[in-house]
Amino acid sequence: MSQLPETHDIDDRADQAHEDERHAALAYLDEAWNEAVYDGLDEDCLAQAALFTAIRSLVATYGEDAAAEFAERLAGRIRAGEYTVPFNRQ
């Protein structure tokens, strides 16, 4: 199986198309998430299910070793703030 691509490994020409596709995917997931919360599902349950589904997909696409290596790098990326959304107080 192949390795998960690193952000810096993506060709610049394909980078914009890839970024657009990622934004579209995030919009779909945000909408589904918001609908589920509106319907009363617990956000912790949603997060656990989303992580399971995402990791299952990565394993199916890239294999267990590549998915595990990706998961091992997540702690550093989380600590570096890659998943922190700026919060604006008004």
Q: What is the pLDDT of residues 45-79, one digit of tens each?
A: 999 999 999 999 999 999 999 999 999 999 999 99
pLDDT of residue 4: 66
User: Is the Cβ–Cβ distance between 59 and 67 less than 8 Å?
Assistant: yes
Domain ranges of the chain: 11-40, 42-83
User: Is the Cβ–Cβ distance between 1 and 62 less than 8 Å?
Assistant: yes
pLDDT of residue 15: 83
CB atoms within 10 A of CB 69: 13
Contacts with 69 (C-beta within 8 Å, 6 or more apart), sequence order: 3, 4
